[in-house]
């Protein structure tokens, strides 16, 4: 099942500060295993990073992205080839015929949906028989250091922080998932679950807040020079030259050292993400 990882992808993910995103990308790409002629949907595509990577891996795929946020779709349109079709759409009312896609990605989306069961049924509808669904969601059993504030609040019986800088893993989420809950929910939608993974146990304290509360804002608002941030920009970091004098290089070296521990984190109790591959029956 594993794809042969090209040098540009290895280089790109080595420059990714979100250690969970590194492993989400590799799992999703392995699950969808893009082939020439595949018709692939990224449901909840955001800025289109999966579509960008898949397009470089296999240019002969027909790629589609759907998202409800016009601002992120506009950013995706600026960076993706014209051949990628982007549509504004609700995940539970997709504007595609039955059995239209060979493969569907639903990464960090189900947790945002008020009715995730309806979302899964809709994804099954647009997949052809035998088609592949690749899902990732935040794990309810996440490491303390990933989001110490919300983990402490949970321990005290308080509601999680869901918005603002301190939202952490709960940012704008309806729920997090236990592994058995995710597997059951996908099975209820009449999918055949073929693989489930857990990943990213080791991390820096407040990783989520550092990467998304500060880093993402600094990048998008232009608080730092482009010469500095290009190495951390997901649209550019696959090809950006690496400078030993760039402070981002030093930070990424620390993240990389920590992430190597995750290569040997099997059997831990807590992980940031769950990834699942399922197939639509005939």
Arithmetic mean of pLDDT, 219-229 = 69
Q: Say yes or no to pLDDT of 226 above 80.
A: no
- Which residues are registered as beta bridge partners of 41? 64, 104
Task: Give the three-class secondary structure for 143.
Answer: coil
Quick one: pLDDT band at residue 2, thresholds 50, 70, 90?
Answer: low
Q: Say yes or no to pLDDT of 229 above 80.
A: no
| Residue 22: CATH number of its domain | 3.40.50.150
Q: How many domains does the chain have?
A: 1
Predicted confidence at residue 268, as pLDDT, reads 95
> Which of 140, 107, 133, 141 minimizes the C-alpha distance to 193?
133
Give the full edge-to-edge strand order of the sheet including 127-138: 85-88, 62-67, 39-43, 101-107, 127-138, 273-280, 191-199
Residue 166 maps to a domain? yes
- The pair of structure tokens assigned to 260 is 């190597």
Domain of 154, in residue numbers: 7-280
Predicted confidence at residue 244, as pLDDT, reads 75
Arithmetic mean of pLDDT, 58-64 = 96
Q: What is the pLDDT of residues 67-93, one digit of tens each?
A: 999 999 999 999 999 999 999 999 999
> Which of 182, 135, 111 minimizes the C-alpha distance to 31?
135
Residue 2 maps to a domain? no
Arithmetic mean of pLDDT, 95-110 = 97
Task: Give the three-class secondary structure for 132.
Answer: strand
Q: Say yes or no to pLDDT of 262 above 90.
A: yes
Q: Say yes or no to pLDDT of 203 above 90.
A: yes
Predicted confidence at residue 117, as pLDDT, reads 97
- The pair of structure tokens assigned to 156 is 């005290």
Arithmetic mean of pLDDT, 115-128 = 97
Quick one: pLDDT band at residue 271, thresholds 50, 70, 90?
Answer: very high
Using CA of residue 25, residue 262, residue 108, residue 78, what is the dihedral sign?
Answer: negative
Q: Say yes or no to pLDDT of 1 above 60.
A: no
Question: Residue 47, class by beta-carbon neighbours within 10 Å (0-12 exposed, 13-18 middle, 19+ buried)?
Answer: buried
- Tell me which of 2-6, 150-154, 155-159, 198-202 is least confident: 2-6
Q: Say yes or no to pLDDT of 227 above 70.
A: no
Q: What is the pLDDT of residues 210-220, one digit of tens each?
A: 888 777 776 77
- Tell me which of 134-148, 211-225, 250-264 is least confident: 211-225
Arithmetic mean of pLDDT, 39-57 = 96
Average per-residue pLDDT for the chain = 91
Residue 1 maps to a domain? no
Residue 117 maps to a domain? yes
């Amino acid at each position: 099942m594993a794809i042969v990882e090209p040098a540009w992808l290895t280089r790109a993910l080595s420059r990714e500060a979100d250690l969970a995103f590194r492993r989400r990308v590799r799992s999703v790409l392995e699950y969808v295993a893009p082939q020439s002629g595949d018709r692939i949907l990224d449901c909840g595509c955001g800025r289109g990073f999966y579509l960008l990577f898949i397009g470089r891996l296999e240019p002969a795929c027909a790629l589609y992205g759907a998202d409800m946020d016009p601002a992120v779709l506009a950013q995706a349109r600026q960076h993706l080839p014209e051949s990628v079709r982007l549509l504004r759409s609700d995940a539970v009312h997709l504007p595609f015929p039955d059995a239209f896609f060979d493969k569907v990605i639903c990464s960090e989306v189900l947790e945002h949906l008020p009715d995730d069961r309806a979302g899964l049924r809709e994804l099954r509808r647009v997949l052809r028989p035998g088609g592949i669904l690749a899902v990732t969601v935040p794990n309810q059993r996440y490491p303390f250091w990933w989001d110490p504030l919300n983990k402490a609040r949970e321990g005290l019986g308080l509601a999680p922080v869901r918005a603002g800088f301190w939202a952490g893993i709960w940012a704008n989420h309806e729920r997090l998932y236990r592994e058995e809950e995710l597997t059951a929910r996908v099975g209820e939608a009449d999918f055949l679950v073929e693989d489930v993974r857990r990943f990213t146990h080791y991390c820096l304290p407040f990783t989520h807040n550092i990467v998304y509360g500060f880093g993402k804002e600094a990048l998008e608002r232009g608080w730092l020079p482009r010469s500095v941030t290009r190495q951390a920009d997901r649209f550019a970091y696959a090809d950006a030259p690496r400078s030993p004098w760039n402070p981002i290089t030093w930070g990424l070296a620390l993240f990389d050292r920590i992430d190597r521990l995750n290569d040997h984190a099997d059997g831990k109790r807590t992980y940031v993400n769950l990834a699942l591959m399922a197939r639509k029956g005939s």
